[in-house]
Structure 1
C-alpha cells in the first residue's frame, strides 16, 4: 500500500471518532514512529510503498485508536520539554501544563547557577524530575512515588535521557519522616475530583492510572495539605514549593498554604487562562 493510500485508509477508519486535526496528529506520530517518516515526507514521498511487515504493525494501532486508547500508550512513547519519554498504563501521560510548571521553575532558579537540592513528589514517568535534572544540571534531584511500577518506568526514562535522579518508593500521605532537606520541592499530585469525571475524555478515563488522577470530592486538597506539611519540615531556608493544581481550586489552595504559614504565595495561569500552578515560600 502506498503512503498516500494508507493516509486515506487511516482517516476513513477514525473519522467517526475523532476530529480531523486529531486524526492528522495521530497519523504523523504513527508514521514517524513505525516508518521513520516526517511530516514533509507525506508530500515528497506520497508514493512510498509500505510493505506487508509494516502494515501488520500499523493495523493494530488503528484498532487500538478505535478503542480510544491514547496514542502515547499505543506507541509507548511521548515527548516532554523536548526530551523522549517511555509511557505506559502505569504512568500518566505528561501534559503541556506540566511543561509550563517546569518552565516556571527554570525561570526562578536557572539564573542562580548553583547546586540545588530538588524533590519531585509523585514522579510518575519521571518527566518533571528528569527534565529539571537536564535543565538545571548542577542540581541533585530526588523523586518520590507510591507506585513501584511507575518507578520502573521513571528509572528507564532516566537512563534514556542520561539523567541521574534518585527515585524513592514513598507515600507522601504516610507522613513518614524524611531527614533530607531540599531547596526546591515540586509536585503534580492527584487533584481531579470524582465529580469532574464527566469532563474527562474516555481515552484518559479508561486508560490512565486513577491512582495518579483522582481525589475524593470531600477532601480535594488531601495531597496538597500533606505536601505542604512535608515542605514546612523539609524545605531549606529560602526554599520554594511549586505545585500544579486543580484549575477550579486555585484560591482554596492558596488560602490553605497561607494558613499553614507559607508566604509570597503566587497563583499562575496556563496558556488557556486557567489557574494551574502555584508557588510559595516558607
Structure 2
C-alpha cells in the first residue's frame, strides 16, 4: 500500500479518539521515527509504499493509540528545548510551558561572566529536561538534579549521556531533607502541583499513563512542595541567588503570598503562552 493511502486510513481509524490534526501529527512522528521519512519526503514522492511487514509495527501502535497511550511513550522519546529526551512511564512528558521556564532562566543568566561558575539545583528533575537543557545552554553552569524516584533518576542519567552534558543526579525525597548540603546561585523546580479536585480537567492520556507521584498533591495542602523548597532555598541560595518555579495556574496569588510571607524579594509572576499564571521568580 502506498504510504499516502495508508495515512488516510490511519487518520480515519483514530478519528473517534483524536481530531484529524492530532492524528496526522502522530502519523508523521511515527513515519519519521520508524522509517526515517519526513513529511516533505512524502510530498515529493507520492509513490512511496510500505512493505507488508511494516503494518505489524503500525497496527501495534494504532492499538495503543486507541487506548490513548501518549505517543511519546510509544516512541520512547520526545523533543524539549531543541534536544531529544527518552521518556517512559516513570517520568512526566515535558510540556511546552516548561520550555518557557527554561528560556526565562537562560535569558537571565546567559550573560554572566564566563569565568564564573553558576551553580544550579533542579528539584524534582524527572526526565532531566530542565537540568539538561540548562547544562547544555549555560556552558558555565554546574548542575545538580534531585528526584525521589530511582527509575526517574536512571532515565535522567541516560538523557544526560544522550545530550552530552554533565549533571550530578541525587536520589532524595525533598520533603524529608532538613537542609541542602551545598550553596547555589539558582534553584529551580517544577514539582507536583495538580490538586486532586482538578483531575476532572486532566485528559485520559495523562491521567491513565503519566506518573501520579510527579503530578498530584492533596487538595488541603497544594503548596507543600513549594513551601518546603522555599524554606530550603532561604538557606541554600547565595546572597544574590534566584528561585524559579513552575506553578499551578490557579494558585498564582497563593504562591505570591507564600513567598512574600517568607521574605523573598523581587517576586515576579509570569504567564505562559496560553495566558495562564505559570512561572515565578524570586530573590532571597
TM-score by length of structure 2 reads 0.98
Question: Which residue among 264, 268, 271 is the counterpart of 2:270?
Answer: 268
Partner of 1:27: 27
* Cα pair 2:178 2:232 within 8 Å, conserved: no
Q: Paired residues, what number?
A: 282
CA distance in 2, matches of 1:14, 1:54: 18
Partner of 2:182: 180
Partner of 1:48: 48
Does residue 132 of structure 1 match 2:134? Answer: yes
* Cα pair 1:195 1:217 within 8 Å, conserved: yes
Shift of residue 52, structure 1, vs aligned partner: 2.4
Does residue 58 of structure 1 match 2:58? Answer: yes
RMSD: 0.9
CA distance in 2, matches of 1:104, 1:88: 27
Q: Deviations over 1:177-196 (max 9, x none)?
A: 33211000000000000000
Shift of residue 37, structure 1, vs aligned partner: 0.8
CA distance in 1, matches of 2:55, 2:42: 17
Shift of residue 43, structure 1, vs aligned partner: 1.2
Partner of 2:172: 170
SS in 1 for 2:252: helix
Shift of residue 42, structure 1, vs aligned partner: 2.3
Shift of residue 66, structure 1, vs aligned partner: 0.4
Segment of structure 1 superposing worse, 36-45 or 136-145: 36-45
Does residue 71 of structure 1 match 2:71? Answer: yes
CA distance in 2, matches of 1:239, 1:44: 53
After TM superposition, what 4+ stretches of structure 1 lie above 6 angstroms from structure 2? none
SS in 1 for 2:111: helix
TM-score by length of structure 1 reads 0.98
CA distance in 2, matches of 1:266, 1:168: 29
* Cα pair 1:78 1:87 within 8 Å, conserved: yes
CA distance in 1, matches of 2:181, 2:204: 41
Shift of residue 54, structure 1, vs aligned partner: 2.2
Alignment of 1:1-282 (within 5 A): 1-113=1-113, 114-282=116-284
